[in-house]
Amino acid sequence: EDQVTQSPEALRLQEGESSSLNCSYTVSGLRGLFWYRQDPGKGPEFLFTLYSAGEEKEKERLKATLTKKESFLHITAPKPEDSATYLCAVDDRGSTLGRLYFGRGTQLTVWP
Amino acid sequence: GAVVSQHPSRVICKSGTSVKIECRSLDFQATTMFWYRQFPKQSLMLMATSNEGSKATYEQGVEKDKFLINHASLTLSTLTVTSAHPEDSSFYICSANRDRKLTEAFFGQGTRLTVV
């Protein structure tokens, strides 16, 4: 059973059209939830870590939020350069520190 | 931020040969590094956990004799794909934690392996 499920699989937005990406997770105990950005042919680029329900973090047009069952990545007024695959991952207290379980990602395309 | 460097970024090899991929933490020491594999439009799947000075821990279904991992120093882990076959073609990515207490992992650039 997948520990991390991301939706939608793909999302197309017009420049300036805000939206949210979802990440639902199942863990024995959450050590941390991560959001990464991945461009084609590249390794994941770290965006945020969230540790506890209610926590929020922002970076430019991105804002990540966390509840006990899911996380959202809100994208405000996106630009074409925000086009990428966004990955969600969790570090489960039942596993080795740093061992991440990834979702399949949401492929975001922002068109002008 | 912390930097993890992976080399090479792309490699093409003939079936039956071996390929070595390096993962280096450039500005911190990492006692643990992780090796993932990613197929097109799929999630990153953990292959093994590389521990400095000891044997790697492999995930279920990953052949330890085929994917040799060596973590000889606090800044370098290597993954050797032995007797490569076309089905081993994939995107291999390493990660490392900067701090033993923190769970933030930083990733290398990835290595695209094509076996012909």
For residue A1, pLDDT over 60 is answered with no
Share of chain B above pLDDT 90, in %: 69
Residue B41 has a pLDDT of 81
pLDDT (mean) for A5-33: 95
pLDDT (mean) for A14-27: 96
The conformation of residue B66, written as its DSSP 8-state character, comes to: T
For residue A107, pLDDT over 80 is answered with yes
Residue B103 has a pLDDT of 62
Q: Please answer whether residues A36 and A6 qualify as being in contact, where contact means their C-beta atoms are separated by less than 8 angstroms.
A: no
Strand pairing report for A106-111 and A10-14: parallel
Tokens for B57? 């821990």
Q: A112 at the B interface (CB within 8 A)?
A: no
Q: What is the pLDDT of residues B44-85, one digit of tens each?
A: 999 999 888 888 999 999 999 999 999 888 899 999 999 999
Interface of B to A at Cβ within 8 Å reads: 1, 4, 6, 32, 34, 36, 41-46, 49, 57, 91, 93, 95-97, 100, 103-110, 112
Q: Which residues pair with A56 in a beta bridge?
A: A65
Q: Please answer whether residues B91 and B41 qualify as being in contact, where contact means their C-beta atoms are separated by less than 8 angstroms.
A: no
Rounded to an integer, what distance in angstroms lies between the CA atom of residue A59 and that of residue A52? 18
Q: What is the pLDDT of residues A40-67, one digit of tens each?
A: 989 999 899 999 999 999 999 999 999 9
Measured between CA atoms, how close is A16 to chain B, in angstroms? Answer: 26
